Chain A
């Protein structure tokens, strides 16, 4: 069965960076885009960007341009999201999710990781 298993909760200081991993299984990793979203406490979901695991192509939300880096390692079917220059308002649950399009981008998300909490606090 399709699974996306993310790394664990993190606590970071302001100005630091965090890298969240998303280990996938149960399907062909390179056939489906991976998206990253986050939900801050009391807020709605916020889309951060996607990566095409086959080509490595990426698209980031303008809000995160210059601060976010999405990568993947096809040998271990894992996607990564790194966010730098953290501030307190980056405290959020960070999700990876699989795009539902098989070898094509759809913009909808059919499987999600469990979403670790990243806390930014001095």
Chain B
């Protein structure tokens, strides 16, 4: 199975700051990576797919980059509603797998 390792586990930042989240794959997955946001008690929300394409309705402050084994999700300026858990997911190989998540919390 392809293992996705996210870092850091927790990111403590203030509103308005830039958030940089990392996802590393255990083998080359080309650009077949997505990012999701999940808040307590809610279903996940697709933010980014194919490493860098924003999903419908996602604000421009969210951007994704990377290919191969190293990927980054950047939130350019944190809004209060962005404090949540973020996780990555690959569709390059079976089974589809997810990272363990990064919690972005208010500092």
Contacts and interface: CB of A to CB of B under 8 A. Distances in A.
Interface in A2-22: none
Contacts of A113: 43
Provide the main secondary structure of the chain B interface.
Answer: loop
B43 A95 contact: yes
Contact of B55 (A35, A107, A110): A110
B32 A107 contact: yes
B91 interface: yes
Contacts of A95: 43-44
A114 B43 contact: yes
Interface string A90-119: 000001010010000011111011110000
A108 B34 contact: yes
Interface string B69-102: 0000000000000000001010100111111110
Contact of B87 (A45, A110, A115): A45
A63 B43 contact: no
Interface in A44-66: 44-47, 59, 61-63
B11 interface: no
Given A61-B95, A95-B43, A109-B44, A44 B49 contact: no
Interface of A: 35, 37, 44-47, 59, 61-63, 95, 97, 100, 106-110, 112-115
Given A37-B98, A63-B95, 5 more contacts: A47-B95, A47-B96, A59-B94, A62-B95, A109-B46
